[in-house]
Amino acid sequence: MKQSVIPIKLVIAGASITVLDSSKMGSYSCTLKGEQQLSGIFHLQVPKIERKEKPMISYIGDTAVMNCECPGYTATSWTWYMTNGSKQIAINESLLTDKYVISKKSANITQLKILKLAKEDDGEYWCEAAFGLGKSKGKLELKVLSYMAPLKPFLAIVVEVVVLIALVVSYEIYSKKVKRTEVEFWNLTSLSYSKSEDSGLESSRARQRRI
Partner 1 sequence: MSPPVPSDLGYVPPDGGWGWAVVFGASISVGFAYTFPKAFTIYFKELQAVYSISYSQIAWITSIMCATTYGGGPISSILVNRYGSRPVVMFGGLLCGTGMVSAAFCTSIMQLYICVGFITGLGLALNLQPSVIMIGKYFLKRRPIANGLAMAGSPVMLCTLAPLNQLLFDNYGWRGSFLILGAILLNCCVAGALFRPIGPGTASIKTQVPEEGKDALKQKVTEDAMEMSSPVNLPMKNKTEEEGERDCCEKINQYLDFSLFKHRGFLIYLIGNVLMFLGFFAPIIFLAPYAKHIGIDEYSAAFLLSILAIVDIVARPTTGIIANSKWVRPRIQYFFSFSIAFNGTCHLLCPLASSYTGLVVYSIFFGLAFGMVCAMLFETLMDLVGAARFTSAVGLVTIAECCTILLGPPIGGTLIDTFGDYKYMFIKCGVVMVLAGTFLFIMNYYNYRMLAKEEKERKAKEEDPKSVRTENEGRNNWIKETTQDGPELEPLREEQEGLKKEANGTSEV
Contact footprint for partner 1 (CB under 8 A): 54, 56-59, 62-63, 65, 67, 145, 149-151, 153-155, 157-158, 161, 164-165, 168-169, 172, 208-210
Nearer to partner 1, 119 or 210 (CB): 210
* Cα 123 to Cα 84: distance, rounded to the nearest angstrom: 8
Nearer to partner 1, 32 or 57 (CB): 57
- In whole angstroms, the minimum distance from the beta carbon of 23 to partner 1 comes to 37
- In whole angstroms, the minimum distance from the beta carbon of 140 to partner 1 comes to 12
Nearer to partner 1, 38 or 109 (CB): 109
Q: Max Cα separation, the chain?
A: 127
Nearer to partner 1, 33 or 210 (CB): 210
Please state the length of the chain: 211
- In whole angstroms, the minimum distance from the beta carbon of 166 to partner 1 comes to 9
- In whole angstroms, the minimum distance from the beta carbon of 43 to partner 1 comes to 27
Nearer to partner 1, 6 or 165 (CB): 165
- In whole angstroms, the minimum distance from the beta carbon of 210 to partner 1 comes to 6
Which burial class, exposed, middle or buried, applies to 40 when counting CB atoms under 10 A from its CB (0-12, 13-18, 19+)? Answer: middle
